[in-house]
């Protein structure tokens, strides 16, 4: 095979364009809406978060244990003996996120003894908190 036939001018031009192109990005966005948990919709406590707590048995341990109840937004905001379980708009500062993380600041990781919440499930809770922990 003749290398001249292989390296035709159109092929060389296309190669230069593809190799030489850079993604220079876009202008920074302003007025970006808050994290909505995907799909542009707010995460609902009743439809998405509470079912997580129920599925993992959280009300069984936190139906008042240490003053914490997880079945209502008001109770999560009030918290227990360690303070509010949720800091609206601040998921990473929220006790419920810290306690479901691999290295909680005190005590055992929740739910105690596992099974632990998958990262995608924890993200739903984080999204809800970052959206303001609405009673929706």
Is the residue at 103 inside a domain?
yes
Euclidean distance between CA atoms 125 and 133, whole angstroms:
9
What's the pTM?
Answer: 0.69
Quote the tokens at residue 3: 């290398």
Is the residue at 36 inside a domain?
no
Quote the tokens at residue 127: 């999204």
Is the residue at 8 inside a domain?
no
Question: Containing domain of residue 102, as a range?
Answer: 45-130
Give, for all 136 residues of the chain, the pLDDT tens digit.
554 454 444 433 333 333 333 333 333 332 333 444 444 589 999 999 999 999 999 888 887 768 899 999 999 999 999 999 999 999 999 999 999 999 999 999 999 888 999 999 999 999 999 999 999 9
Q: Cβ distance 75 to 68 under 8 Å? A: yes
Is the residue at 101 inside a domain?
yes
């Amino acid at each position: 095979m003749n290398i001249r036939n292989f390296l035709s001018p159109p092929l060389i031009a296309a190669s230069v364009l593809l190799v030489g192109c850079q993604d220079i990005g876009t202008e920074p966005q302003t007025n970006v809406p808050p994290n909505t948990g995907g799909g542009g919709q707010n995460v609902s406590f009743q439809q998405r978060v509470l079912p997580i707590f129920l599925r993992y048995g959280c009300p069984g341990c936190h139906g008042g244990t240490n003053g914490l109840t997880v079945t209502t937004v008001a109770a999560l905001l009030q918290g227990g003996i360690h303070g509010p379980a949720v800091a609206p708009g601040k998921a990473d500062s929220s006790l419920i996120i810290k306690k479901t993380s691999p290295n909680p600041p005190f005590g055992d990781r929740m739910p105690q003894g596992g099974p632990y919440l998958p990262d995608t499930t924890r993200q739903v809770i984080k999204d809800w908190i970052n959206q303001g922990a609405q009673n929706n």
